[in-house]
Structure 1
Amino acid sequence: MKNYPTSTIIVSTYNWPEALAICLKSIANQVVLPNEVIVADDGSKQDTTDLINRVRRTFPCPLIHVWHEDTGFRLAAIRNKAIAKASGDYIIQIDGDIVLERHFVKDHLSFCRKDCFVSGSRVRVEKELGAKMLTEKKIDVSLFSGGISNHFNGLRIKFLRNHYRFRYRMDDPYYVKGCNMAFWREDLYAVNGYNEDMTGWGREDSEVAVRLINLGKKRQFIKFGGVEYHIEHSFSSRDKEPVNIAILEEAIAQKIIYCKNGLSKYL
């Protein structure tokens, strides 16, 4: 087996234990397991804690729960707290409403390069199929399942994966998908992780990508690999998005690398 770096999967979640259950099931089913999994919990109720405690008993690698009080949407903060707990040299970031194709971790670890971070994409699972998956605790979804869209994002073709590494979405150099990203832990430390001035939904993933690029790291896209299925759900409030966009635009204009309100407070 290839000598992969040690890895941590960080799974962000909030009050949806049914989705988290099948997300964790899909991680346990990986052909290459991470060294640990950290659930970054933005203030969920007791049923999420109970789920994690049950799953931990038979989970094939350490399963860590990082929680803080629910005082509103604080994804940047809970991700920083999880990053501070991570021991893996390479951090793979997903959301708790994601089901991973069984080669997801292997694809990411095979794709990683020093001085780069990664964004991937997702296959959308429509509501009817998503409800069935949640009820039946089903993770064997595929491109041939009825009720999915974005089929192109579900293909695994290695030579195309390498071809598109630096060629995808060249029209938007800061475009990323926070539900499918990966970073070297030392690079996140160098930019002080996520900017906690960004609360509410939106743009915190693009902003950390901007600062990594300002540091000199390259954005890679993992197309035709790192496949994941995203269960459709209602959107969070986007009231804070204009403020977050302003912070993002400042990071671009001022070439900011290190955010003041970030990871360091937890280290």
Structure 2
Amino acid sequence: MSQELKASVIISTYNQPKWLKLVLYSYHLQSVKCFEIIIADDGSDENTKTVVEDFKSKTDLKVVHVWQEDDGFRKTEILNKAILASDSRYLIFTDGDCIARQDFVETHLKLQKPSCALSGGYFKLTEEVSGLIDNHVIKNQKCFDVDWLLENGQPKTFKLNKLTTSDFKSRFLNTITPTKATFDGMNVSCYKSDIIAVNGFDERMKYGGEDREVGERMMNNGVKFLQIRYSAICLHLYHDRPYKNEQVLLENKSIRKETKKAKSKFTEFGIRKN
């Protein structure tokens, strides 16, 4: 690695080696190479390790595989470990089922601002279209082409505008969208120092809003979230969510409610423990 590291892309994953393989390939094709990849692995089996080792052997990018034992949904814990394992000042968070457009990392780096976080979006592919994605489609960036998607059965909706390549149109749509800029773990970036300052993710939280909560603490601590949902583009591959749990969602809501009420800037249940 001759280039200075300007970003760490933290990719969370759990037992989706087929998707992760495609996602990693999309980072191999990025327009800039000044970043490392940290895989935050919440207890996947050997199949994921094989995918990571295979990718390492084919790319010049620095790749770090941070793994913890499978003990239920502990994404917040593995993300905190990944933050500590990162070697750059700027962090880009995404998931192992989100394929990045070629300019994804470049866009996050270009739009970064001190004391700000960038809130990106994602475009959800149908199950049928997800099944058509392979290295060839990613290399040619066909999966980001609206005509290709429509030809292959993706429904025609306003959300296709999320794939715009027009700088003017993306800036305009970022400005007028009613969607709030939040910490959405599929596509968000911030300075490492800003997330460390609030002690990272709250490890009490399981699936559902665990990413929003860290963002809310960052906002309470003076970090401004900027909307870039039409600028930094990634595609979400279809899958079921067997880990969704109503009781857990209620507990998470309760923690977020307390964060908002107390205007919390710090969690005692994060990176640094008492």
Q: Structure 2 length normalisation: TM-score?
A: 0.88
Paired residue secondary structure (2:99)? strand
- Contact 1:38–1:86, Cα closer than 8 Å, also in 2: yes
Is 1:155–2:164 an aligned residue pair?
yes
Paired residue secondary structure (1:198)? coil
Paired residue secondary structure (1:132)? coil
For residue 238 of structure 1, report the CA deviation from its aligned partner: 2.6
Is 1:111–2:102 an aligned residue pair?
no
Residues 87, 165 of structure 1: CA spacing in aligned structure 2 closer, same or farther, 3 A cutoff?
A: farther
Give the Cα separation in 1 of the matches to 2:116 and 2:61.
Answer: 26
Give 1:192's match in structure 2, choosing from 199, 220, 232.
Answer: 199
Give the Cα separation in 2 of the matches to 1:237 and 1:158.
Answer: 37
Give the Cα separation in 2 of the matches to 1:231 and 1:133.
Answer: 9
Is 1:252–2:222 an aligned residue pair?
no
Tell me the alpha carbon deviations over residues 147-178 of structure 1, each in whole angstroms, 9 at most, x when there is no partner. 445212111332344456666446x56x4422
- Contact 1:4–1:109, Cα closer than 8 Å, also in 2: no
Give 2:189's match in structure 1, choosing from 176, 182, 185.
Answer: 182
Residues 257, 205 of structure 1: CA spacing in aligned structure 2 closer, same or farther, 3 A cutoff?
A: same
Give the Cα separation in 2 of the matches to 1:191 and 1:51.
Answer: 33
Structural mapping, 1:1-267, within 5 Å: 6-133=6-133, 138-139=137-138, 140=141, 141-142=143-144, 143-144=146-147, 145=149, 146-148=152-154, 150-163=159-172, 168-169=177-178, 172=180, 175-199=182-206, 201-235=207-241, 236-239=243-246, 240-265=248-273
RMSD (Å), alpha carbons? 2.1
The aligned amino acid for 2:264 is I
For residue 232 of structure 1, report the CA deviation from its aligned partner: 1.1
Unaligned runs of 5+ in 2: none
Residues 218, 161 of structure 1: CA spacing in aligned structure 2 closer, same or farther, 3 A cutoff?
A: farther
- Contact 2:108–2:232, Cα closer than 8 Å, also in 1: yes
The aligned amino acid for 1:157 is S
Give the Cα separation in 2 of the matches to 1:119 and 1:192.
Answer: 20
Tell me the alpha carbon deviations over residues 182-229 of structure 1, each in whole angstroms, 9 at most, x when there is no partner. 010000110001010102x11011101100100011011113211111
Paired residue secondary structure (2:105)? helix
Paired residue secondary structure (1:91)? strand
In proportion to residue count, which structure has more helix? 2
Q: Structure 1 length normalisation: TM-score?
A: 0.90
Give the Cα separation in 1 of the matches to 2:240 and 2:38.
Answer: 24
For residue 4 of structure 1, report the CA deviation from its aligned partner: 9.4
The aligned amino acid for 1:73 is F
| Aligned structure 1 segments of 4 or more residues deviating by more than 3 angstroms | 159-170
- Contact 2:4–2:34, Cα closer than 8 Å, also in 1: no
- Fraction of identical pairs, as percent: 29
Give the Cα separation in 1 of the matches to 2:46 and 2:136.
Answer: 20
